Amino acid sequence: MKRAFGAALIAVGAALLLYVGYRYVSGAYERDAARTAWAALEAHNAVASASSLTAAPTHTTYAAGALVGRLLIPSVRLDEVIAEGVGDDELDAGPGHLPGSASPGEPGNAVISAHRDRHFHSLGRLAIGDTVITETRTARTTWVITGRKIVGRYQPSLFPSLEPELTLTTCWPIRYVGPAPDRLILTAKPLVTPPRA
Amino acid sequence: MSFKHIPLLVCALVALTVTAIAGAQFTAAVVPPRAKAKVDTTLKQDSVRRATVALAARVVDMKKWVDSAAGVSIPRDSAPPAKSSDSLAAVKAPPTKDSVILARNARVRSDSAASIGTVELHDSTGLKGPDSAKTAPPASSRKAPEDTKKFASGAPAPATASMLPFLAIAGVTTILAGAALRKH
């Protein structure tokens, strides 16, 4: 009887591990696909900008799941492609841009969120003064982190801004078993905003 | 493994599901509860009544108030003017039936202004105002806010909580427990 129960437990545990592994592997696969797509988009954008002198739109909107840009944080060696949306599918592939928030580099608050156990696992190591770089189709912006706070899950933490602002969010504590009760909020201001070549 | 082991398997699955749900509940309980200020219910009811009366007086006497504010001369009759230091109540209006109500509520008006201030204070402490006090469900039945899917001013951060680490640990623990059971 005990042996049978033990076998059942092993089977259930194996099923759980298989599911977790599948989610991580599929996330990694989607992340690679997003990187490839972003590289192609950048190449296409370079050709388009070289052959056209049309001004970039002031406010860019994206379709759900569309590629928004690239996020680089040199101090923690983070290099991820940002997709539009903060649903499970988008956050599996990489950091998600919150719909309705500004595009990174444009006037307004651009909000980017990701899972703490995957793409933003190193976000807890960032401190005020660290540099963040965002690249979109229209702008490459260097940001400096100016605020770091931990808030409750339902505590208001996102606010509009007239000036360009970047907000990075993930769950907190970073190493927490189960749904983390808090959120880590990092806010950044643009350091330099040179126009995209 | 034979068919007689199926109930055991089902039991194990149910136990894991319950553990996950219980974990979520426990996490929800970790969030510190909002501080509740002591509220005198009699005062709240009184402020609701006074605010209602003041609003009724204000609406009924709106035309007179507008006329007087515009400087239109209005004939007076024998009724005495409202004695109040309140600027709203000091509006020169004819002592009609409505204005008598207004005069009677002159004090109420000033009080209702104070009660509005009290309402704002309650809001700032997370409590509901007098109007919503009637309709607000009890704290125990209040639903948790929905996860943020679109940017809005004052919205909480998007739900990035992941169950995968918990599931991975649960899986490893279950396998170890199963192996231990099979050994003995």
**What is the DSSP annotation of B33-81?**
PPP-----HHHHHHHHHHHHHHHHHHHHTHHHHHHHHTT------SSPP
What per-residue confidence (pLDDT) applies to B57? 56
Residue A15 has pLDDT above 70, yes or no: yes
Contact B181 A2 (CB under 8 A): yes
- What is the C-alpha separation between A182 and A72, in angstroms, rounded? 24
ipTM of the complex: 0.72
Chain B residues in contact with A179 by the CB 8 A cut-off are 23-24, 27, 161-163, 166
The residue of chain A with its CA nearest to that of B153 is A159
In tens, the pLDDT along A36-81 reads 888 888 888 777 766 655 555 557 788 888 899 999 999 999 999 9
B148 to chain A, closest Cα gap in Å = 8
Task: Calculate the average pLDDT of chain B.
Answer: 58
In tens, the pLDDT along B93-135 reads 444 444 444 444 444 444 443 333 333 333 333 343 344 334 4
**Residue percentage of chain B with pLDDT more than 90:** 5
What per-residue confidence (pLDDT) applies to A41? 83
Across the interface, of B13, B157, B162, the residue whose CB is closest to A117 is B162
Mean pLDDT of A107-129: 91
The residue of chain A with its CA nearest to that of B165 is A177
Residue B11 pLDDT class (50, 70, 90 cuts): low
The label of the residue with tokens 């509006």 reads B91
Look at A121-130, A172-181, B15-24, B151-160 and tell me which has the smallest mean pLDDT: B15-24
What per-residue confidence (pLDDT) applies to B77? 46
Contact B144 A154 (CB under 8 A): yes
Mean pLDDT of A169-180: 86
* Sign for the pseudo-dihedral over CA of A156, A160, A165, A170: positive
What per-residue confidence (pLDDT) applies to A175? 83
Q: Measured at the alpha carbon of residue A42, what is the angle toward residues A142 and A31, in degrees to the nearest 5?
A: 85
What per-residue confidence (pLDDT) applies to B118? 35
Q: pTM (2 decimals)? A: 0.57
- What is the C-alpha separation between A129 and A143, in angstroms, rounded? 9
The alpha carbon torsion through B1, B4, B5, B7 (nearest 10 deg) reads 160
Residue B19, both tokens: 């553990």
Contact B157 A185 (CB under 8 A): yes
What per-residue confidence (pLDDT) applies to A34? 87
What per-residue confidence (pLDDT) applies to B20? 53
What per-residue confidence (pLDDT) applies to A138? 84
The most confident of A26-30, A173-177, B55-59, by mean pLDDT: A26-30
B27 to chain A, closest Cα gap in Å = 6
Residue A154 has pLDDT above 50, yes or no: yes
**Between B183 and B66, whose confidence is greater?**
B183
Is the separation of the CB atoms in A137 and A106 below 8 Å?
no
Count the Cβ atoms, other than its own, within 10 Å of residue A189: 14
The CA distances from residue B48 to A168, A196, B20, B43, B130, in Å, are 43, 59, 45, 9, 6
Substitution target in B6, B13, B123, B160 with the highest count of A β-carbons within 10 Å is: B160
**How distant is the alpha carbon of residue A45 from its chain centre?**
21
**Between A179 and A98, whose confidence is greater?**
A98
SS (H, E, C) chain A: CHHHHHHHHHHHHHHHHHHHHHHHHHHHHHHHHHHHHHHHHHHHHHHHHHHCCCCCCCCCCCCCCCEEEEEEEHHHCEEEEEEECCCHHHHHHCCEECCCCCCCCCCEEEEEECCCCCCCCCHHHCCCCCEEEEEECCEEEEEEEEEEEEEECCCCCECCCCCEEEEEEEEECCCCCCCCCEEEEEEEEEEECCECC
Chain B residues in contact with A118 by the CB 8 A cut-off are 162
**Between B82 and A10, whose confidence is greater?**
A10
Residue A1 has pLDDT above 80, yes or no: no
Question: Phi, psi at residue B149, to the nearest 5°?
Answer: -115, -10
- What is the C-alpha separation between A85 and A63, in angstroms, rounded? 9
Is the separation of the CB atoms in B130 and A142 below 8 Å?
no
